[in-house]
Every structure is written in structure tokens, then in C-alpha cells.
């Protein structure tokens, strides 16, 4: 090559090298940034006197009580650390039944007599807060005049500093309960369920000869799906702004049929958004790891590395909030709704769940020969039994107005709960049901037929993307959870129901003289009794629906059907027996879920009325008027047009149809809102209002497809899904 040519290349090369250098800097930054806003164990070790640090570790890991004097020292260290990071306030951060998080900020200031201030934060302020509870959903647990509620520091989830604009605050993860100590939040039952699981799992482990584990924790890694749409489009649509999904909108000519979005290249703007998102999450110690484009246009996913279920749930809440905040800064709106757009995939949240011991053992790790891994087999069977026995309950924990659009809609798992075990484990299960399992099918290698490509070890099971509850190597992946829902619900139900089955097992094992034999017997019994819940085929097919019905598996099609099963005696006994929820708490939560469902549909329907009348009908009338004027003008010119006449007829017909439909919608909303208990109202909204909403949408979508594009008042699916 000509010397000049090489020289000519030098400039861009220099630029490239600079970019690499910057990447190198970024790498150093990730290490520095990661966890920099978390009052982690490492920070505590550095900042607390050694004896206090040892005490606080005992409080966190062994549940020992926290003395007031220790709390004062810890609070003071937290305050100094937070102030160094620019914090002026602290807040108790909790998760009421709204599904959102709540925070009330207090400044550290404490005025002195001479008119100045010192910065103070006491142990009492750290441990306990007393927000007015009367404006949070309580499901009748507390009347407005009994307003007291308490927040209590959950020291198992680390304290952190959060920056909102210029406001920097010390966040203290908390549980939230009523004056009479009923749980009013999503965290308390989760923590109770983790303790229940720990107790039961340790008993079983001891029986099976494990003497080293001190505790067993539920672990969780939640994959979060979301959509990004341009903020300008979002602002022009009342439906997206108020309810997070499009209530109107004809399909775009292109959807996801080319299968070209999944894992597709990132657009620059989205890449930049993700970069900042990761930085923010890493600061908070959230191990955001995986990111990619999803199946639908404009849809993405992010997943952190798993951690204990309690912290993972806090992380997921923070992740949802951070997604939305960072999106706005980049001119996007982040949609967390389960079904923002009709006709393309909705968004879910895959809850990867397992159980691990404090000394690092994953109890769902099968090893090479699962059939003779007794610990694995026993815990696997416990899960199989728990999921079969409490399938309806599991279904009910993911019931919401939003998720109803997704479950069973041929893109997400159906509303029928079943378990995918894969070939190897199903084979072992069958061997057990017929007597004793004595071999495990072995893994092969994958040969690509090209000598330069490596031979790949094959997993023992293929993936099954259609199963609601799939064994994926060394964990279960629960895929029914909606993208907007807290991971607390499904997780505390797994924990509690598995704890229940493990307690039954422990009762049996502790009594037996020959543990090995007793365990075999249990496994065999479960393999026989709960075979029906295992299904490895395609869960999206009609045949599976029929088959599931034959097997007697519940198929609860929507939220009201699912919630109707919650208050069964069996469920009450489960929750009370494991100390997770009292009957009253369970009833209150169910009532809240009914109320939230009703309110969600009520708001959607009223938004539809508003948009239907003021945006769409108004525009359609203008269109009809324009056509009428054109028709008259053309007539006058002696060139009457059939297409104008035809369009005018269609326009007036559709305008009238939309008007009729909107009138009807208003009537059914009013009718459904009339009295009745929470359940009756929810049923009325489900049965009366939803179908009329669908009718109304159909008319409007027809209008959109033929109306003058210039007059259509809303951003279209093509614009929202494809413009970046
Ligand atoms: P995918 O299902 O898309 O293949 P991955 O296999 O990468 O996704 O894992 C998804 C999630 O499962 C991640 O958040 C990961 O940390 C989590 N995960 C892995 N092992 C466990 C475990 N033992 N317990 C809980 N979650 C886990
Ligand atoms: Mg997954």
C-alpha cells in the first residue's frame, strides 16, 4: 500500500484508539461506580467500630435483635456517609399494596438554639417510621380514622443513596404495617415466607445429612421486559399517559412477523439510553447484566444477576423506576404495561427462582446424575407438589387487568399452570413413579461439522419457551408474571407453598428410622400423585388446553376467576400454618386486588370515552365535513366522484357507530359502578365494560384505517413502534 495511504489512515486510527482508550476508562469507571451509592457490608466494615459491625452482621444474618445503642451508632455512620454523597434527607422506602414504592423524605437538620443547625439521624429514626397509613390501600384492615401505620427497617436489604434531579436522599428499605401489626405491604409477607422456607428447608437438609448449612435462602433473578416510545408520541396520547397502554390504534402494516427484532442491533439512541441506565443501576449496586431487543418492535429486556429474593424484589422496583426516569431524559417514555400495543407481543417478567444455602450450595443443582442426588430430588419433588397443590394460588398472584391481556394470548404462557422438567428429569420422574430411579440420561455434545468450530456440550434439556414454569438447568423460571407487577407476590407464594411441603416432608423424615428409604418413598409418592402437572409440550396449543382439562388442572382465564379461588380453606391454612398471612390479611389483600382491577378498568374506560369523543369523533366529524365540501365542489364542477361519495357514506356511518358505542360505554361504566362489594364490582367491569371497550375500539380502528392521515389526531402504531 502507498505510504500516503497508510498515513491517510492514521487519523481515523488515532480516533479509534481514543475510543478504545475511553472504553478502558469506562471499564475502570464501572468498578468505581458499582455499588458506590450503597451502604454495603464493605462500607459498614470500614465505617463502623468493629464490635458494632459484628453485632450488625448478626442482626442481618442471624435475625438477632438490634439494641437502641447499636442502632444509634449505625444511624450516625449512615448519615455521615450519606452527607458525603450530597444527601440532605433520609426516607423510609416501602412497598404498599399499590404495587409502587412510597417514600416520605425528612431532612437531617436539627436546629440549634443559636439559629444554626446540626445534621442528625438517630437509631430510632433509622428503625421506625410512622407514616399516615390512611391513604394507602388496606382492604378494610384499617378505617381512615385509625390512620396509624408503621414502617420498620429491613436490614437484610442494604440502605442506599438515591439521586432524583438535584435531590439526594438516604433510602432505608422498610416493611409497612398497620397499628395492629397487619402487613400492609409487599415486603412483609415476602420476608415472612423466606423465614418459613428457611425453617422448613433446614429441617429437611438436616434429615438428609447436611450439617453445614446455617440458612437456606430463596434466590431470585427477574428479567424485565419493557417498551420504549418517543416521548412526544407518548405525550400526545392520553391512553399511554394515563393507563400505559393504547386503548385505540390500528395495527401497523409491519409487526413482528419478520422476526427481525429479537436480539437485533441496537439503535444509537437506545444504546445511549441503556448505557446511562446501567450506570445508574450499577451505582445502586444492582448487577444489571443482560440487555437486548425483544420480539416486538420497540421492545427490550434487562436482567440483573440473581440475589436473595428480598433484595431482588427491591432491585426490580428500583429498576422499573430507573427505567422510566432515564427514558424521559433520553426523550423516550418507558412502558411497563403488560400489553401496550394490540397485535404485537406484550411484556412479562420472568422470575428465575431457586434455593441456596449460606455456604453456597444451590439446592436445585442436579449434577451429572440427578437420579442419585437425593437432596436435589427431594427439593425438586417438593416444588412439583407445591406447584400442583397451589396452582390456582400461583395463578392468582399474577392476576391483574394488564396481565389478563397477555396470559393465554398465544405469546405468553396460558393461564394454566404446569411444569416443564425437560427430557432427563421427566425420564427420572417416570422411573420413580414406576419404582426407583436408577439412571439419568446423559448429555451429548453438539458437533457443528466444521473442524475449526468447537464441539459444544449439550444441555440436558432443551428450552421450552411456552411453559409457565420451566426448569432451566439449576433453577425454575416462572414466566406468568406481568411486566408491571411486583415480584413479591409470586415469590412469596412459591416460598410459602414449598415451605409447607418441605415441612410435611420433614415431619415424615424426622420420624423415620431409615431416612434414605423414607425419602425414596416420598419421592415415589409425589412422582405418582403429581404427574399431571408436568408437561413438556407446546403450551400454546388448543390440544394442551383440552389435555389440561382432562388432567383436572385449573384454567382460570382472567383476574376475577383467579381471585375467586384465593380464600379457600386450604389456602388460609397454608398461610396461617406457615406464619405468612393471617386469614384477615389474606382477605384484605384479595379485596385490594379486586379494587385495583376495578379501578384500572374504570380509568381505562373513562379515558376511552374522553379520547373517543374529544380526539377521535371530533376529527372524524371534520373528515366527514371535508368530504362533504369536496363532494359538493366536485358536483358543482360537473365531475362528481364515486370514491368521495363512498368515503363520505363510510365516514358518516362510522361516526354514528362510534357515537353509539361511546354512549353505550358510558352507560355500562355507570351501571358497573353502581354498588356491590369489591368482587361484584370487579365482575361487573370484567363482564359488562370490557366487551363494550372492545367494540368501541374496533369502530375507531376502522376509522383510523381509512381516514385522512392528516386529520388523524393520534400518533399511529407505525410511528410509535418503528420511529427511534
Ligand atoms: P434466559 O432465561 O433468558 O436464558 P439467563 O439464563 O441468563 O436467562 O438467566 C436469567 C436470570 O436467571 C438471571 O437473572 C440470572 O441471574 C438468574 N439466575 C441464574 N441462576 C439463578 C439461581 N440459582 N436462582 C435465581 N436466579 C438465577
Ligand atoms: Mg428467561
Question: pLDDT digit string (tens) for 381-390?
Answer: 999 999 999 9
Mean pLDDT of the 347-361 span:
96
Q: What is the pLDDT of residue 144?
A: 54
Q: Which pairing describes strands 419-420 and 469-471: parallel, antiparallel, or unpaired?
A: parallel
**530 C-alpha vs ligand 2 centroid, how far in Å?**
25
Res 457: pLDDT: 72
Grid cell at residue 455: 464441539
Percentage with pLDDT > 90 across the chain: 80
Q: How much of the chain exceeds pLDDT 70, in percent?
A: 94
The pairing of beta strand 89-94 with beta strand 167-178: parallel
Supply 74's cell numbers: 449505625
How many of the other CB atoms lie within 10 Å of CB of 63? 12
Can you give the pLDDT at residue 3? Answer: 39
DSSP letter string, 395-411: HHHT--TTGGGTTTSSS
- Distance in angstroms (rounded) separating the CA atoms of residues 149 and 134: 8
Grid cell for residue 522 = 416420598
Q: Looking at residue 255, what is its pLDDT? A: 84
pTM of the model: 0.93
The pLDDT of 300-316, averaged and rounded, is: 97
pLDDT in tens, 458-512: 776 667 788 999 999 999 999 999 999 999 999 999 999 999 999 999 999 999 9
- Ligand 1 pocket, residue 305 CB under 6 Å: yes
pLDDT (average), residues 571-576: 98
CB within 8 Å of 223: residues ≥ 6 apart: 290, 301, 302, 303, 349, 350, 352
pLDDT score of 260: 81
Q: Which three cell numbers stand for residue 160?
A: 442506599
The set of cell numbers assigned to 345 is 407481543
Per-residue pLDDT for 8 more than 80? no
Q: Is the CB of 220 under 6 A from ligand 1?
A: yes
Of 129-143, 236-250, 304-318, 376-390, give the lowest mean pLDDT range: 129-143
Integer Cα distance of 281 and 284 in angstroms: 5
What would the pLDDT profile of 76-94 be if each residue is shown by its tens digit? Answer: 999 999 999 999 999 999 9
Q: Given this model, what pLDDT does residue 1 score?
A: 37
pLDDT of 163-195, one tens digit each?
999 999 999 999 999 888 899 999 999 999 999
Ligand nearest to the CA of 221: 1
CA of 350 to the centre of ligand 2 (A): 6
Mutate-to-test residue for ligand 1 from 281, 300, 306, highest number of ligand atoms within 8 A of CB: 306
Q: Which of 292, 352, 360, 471 to mutate to test the pocket of ligand 1 (most atoms within 8 A of CB)?
A: 352
**Which positions ≥6 away from 613 have C-beta within 8 Å?**
662
Q: Output the CA 139–ligand 2 centroid distance in Å.
A: 34
Q: Is the CB of 337 under 6 A from ligand 1?
A: no
Q: How many residues are given for the chain?
A: 724
Q: Identify the sign of the CA torsion 306, 310, 314, 317.
A: positive
Cβ distance 603 to 239 under 8 Å?
Answer: no
What is the whole-number distance in angstroms between the Cα of residue 291 and the centre of ligand 1?
Answer: 13
C-alpha cell at 567: 380464600
Whether 183 contacts 588, CB under 8 Å = no
pLDDT at 17 over 50: no
Domains in the chain: ranges and CATH: 30-184 (3.10.20.70), 193-442+461-581 (3.30.590.10), 597-722 (1.20.120.1560)
Residue 462: the pLDDT is 67
**pLDDT > 80? residue 145:** no
pLDDT digits (tens, 9 = 90+) for 412-461: 778 999 999 998 999 998 898 888 888 888 777 777 777 777 777 777 66
Amino acid at each position: 500500500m502507498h505510504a500516503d495511504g497508510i498515513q491517510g489512515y492514521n487519523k481515523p486510527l488515532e480516533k479509534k484508539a481514543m475510543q478504545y482508550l475511553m472504553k478502558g476508562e469506562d471499564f475502570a469507571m464501572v468498578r468505581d461506580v458499582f455499588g458506590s451509592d450503597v451502604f454495603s457490608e464493605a462500607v459498614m466494615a470500614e465505617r463502623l467500630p468493629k464490635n458494632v459491625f459484628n453485632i450488625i452482621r448478626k442482626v442481618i444474618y442471624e435475625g438477632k435483635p438490634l439494641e437502641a445503642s447499636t442502632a444509634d451508632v449505625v444511624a450516625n455512620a449512615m448519615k455521615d456517609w450519606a452527607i458525603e454523597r450530597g444527601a440532605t434527607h433520609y426516607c423510609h422506602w416501602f412497598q404498599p399494596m399499590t404495587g409502587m414504592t412510597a417514600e416520605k423524605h425528612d431532612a437531617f437538620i436539627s436546629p440549634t438554639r443559636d439559629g444554626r443547625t446540626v445534621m442528625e439521624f438517630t437509631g430510632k429514626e433509622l428503625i421506625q417510621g410512622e407514616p399516615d397509613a390512611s391513604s394507602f390501600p388496606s382492604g378494610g384492615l384499617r378505617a381512615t380514622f385509625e390512620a396509624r401505620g408503621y414502617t420498620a427497617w429491613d436490614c437484610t436489604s442494604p440502605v442506599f443513596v438515591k439521586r432524583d434531579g438535584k435531590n439526594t436522599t438516604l433510602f432505608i428499605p422498610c416493611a409497612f404495617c398497620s397499628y395492629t401489626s397487619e402487613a400492609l405491604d409487599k415486603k412483609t409477607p415476602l420476608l415472612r415466607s423466606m423465614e418459613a422456607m428457611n425453617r422448613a428447608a433446614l429441617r429437611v437438609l438436616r434429615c438428609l445429612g447436611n450439617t453445614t448449612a446455617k440458612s437456606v435462602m430463596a434466590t431470585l433473578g427477574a428479567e424485565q421486559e419493557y417498551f420504549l416510545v418517543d416521548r412526544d408520541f407518548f405525550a400526545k396520547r392520553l391512553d399511554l399517559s394515563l393507563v400505559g397502554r393504547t386503548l385505540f390504534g390500528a395495527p401497523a402494516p409491519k409487526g413482528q412477523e419478520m422476526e427481525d427484532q429479537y436480539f437485533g442491533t441496537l439503535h444509537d439512541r437506545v444504546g445511549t439510553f441503556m448505557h446511562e441506565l446501567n450506570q445508574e443501576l450499577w451505582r445502586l449496586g444492582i448487577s444489571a447484566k443482560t440487555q437486548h431487543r425483544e420480539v416486538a418492535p420497540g421492545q427490550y429486556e434487562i436482567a440483573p444477576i440473581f440475589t436473595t429474593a428480598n433484595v431482588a424484589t427491591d432491585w426490580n422496583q428500583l429498576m422499573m423506576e430507573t427505567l422510566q426516569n432515564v427514558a424521559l431524559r433520553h426523550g423516550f417514555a418507558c412502558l411497563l404495561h403488560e400489553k401496550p400495543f394490540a397485535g404485537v407481543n406484550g411484556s412479562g417478567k420472568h422470575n428465575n427462582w431457586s434455593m441456596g444455602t449460606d455456604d453456597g450450595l444451590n439446592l436445585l443443582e442436579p449434577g451429572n446424575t440427578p437420579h442419585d442426588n437425593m437432596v436435589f430430588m427431594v427439593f425438586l419433588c417438593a416444588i412439583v407438589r407445591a406447584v400442583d397443590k397451589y396452582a390456582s394460588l400461583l395463578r392468582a398472584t399474577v392476576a391483574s387487568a394488564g396481565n389478563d391481556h397477555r396470559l393465554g394470548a398465544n405469546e405468553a404462557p396460558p393461564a394454566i399452570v404446569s411444569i416443564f422438567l425437560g427430557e432427563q428429569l421427566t425420564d427420572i420422574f417416570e422411573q420413580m413413579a414406576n419404582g426407583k430411579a436408577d439412571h439419568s440420561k446423559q448429555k451429548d455434545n453438539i458437533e457443528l461439522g466444521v473442524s475449526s468450530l468447537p464441539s459444544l456440550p449439550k444441555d440436558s434439556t432443551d428450552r421450552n419457551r411456552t411453559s409457565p414454569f420451566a426448569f432451566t438447568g439449576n433453577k425454575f423460571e416462572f414466566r406468568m408474571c406481568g411486566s408491571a407487577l411486583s415480584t413479591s407476590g409470586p415469590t412469596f407464594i412459591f416460598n410459602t407453598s414449598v415451605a409447607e411441603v418441605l415441612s410435611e416432608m420433614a415431619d415424615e423424615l424426622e420420624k423415620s428410622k431409615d431416612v434414605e428409604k423414607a425419602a425414596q418413598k416420598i419421592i415415589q409418592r409425589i412422582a405418582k400423585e403429581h404427574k399431571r402437572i408436568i408437561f413438556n409440550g407446546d403450551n400454546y396449543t388448543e390440544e394442551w388446553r383440552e389435555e389440561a382439562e382432562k388432567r383436572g388442572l385449573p384454567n382460570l382465564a382472567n383476574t376475577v376467576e383467579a381471585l375467586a379461588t384465593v380464600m379457600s380453606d386450604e389456602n388460609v391454612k397454608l398461610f396461617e400454618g406457615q406464619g405468612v398471612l393471617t386469614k384477615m390479611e389474606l382477605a384484605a389483600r384479595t379485596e385490594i386486588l379486586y379494587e385495583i382491577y376495578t379501578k384500572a378498568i374504570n380509568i381505562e374506560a373513562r379515558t376511552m370515552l374522553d379520547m373517543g369523543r374529544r380526539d377521535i369523533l371530533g376529527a372524524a366529524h371534520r373528515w366527514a365535513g371535508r368530504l362533504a365540501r369536496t363532494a359538493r365542489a366536485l358536483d358543482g364542477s360537473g365531475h362528481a366522484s364515486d370514491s368521495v361519495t363512498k368515503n363520505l357514506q363510510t365516514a358518516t356511518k362510522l361516526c354514528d357507530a362510534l357515537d353509539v358505542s361511546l354512549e353505550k360505554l358510558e352507560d355500562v361504566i355507570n351501571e358497573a359502578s353502581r354498588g356491590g362489594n369489591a368482587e361484584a364490582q370487579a365482575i361487573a367491569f370484567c363482564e359488562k365494560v370490557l366487551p363494550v371497550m372492545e367494540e368501541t375500539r374496533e369502530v375507531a380502528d376502522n376509522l383510523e384505517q381509512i381516514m385522512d392521515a392528516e386529520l388523524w389526531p393520534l400518533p399511529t402504531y407505525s410511528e410509535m413502534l418503528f420511529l427511534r
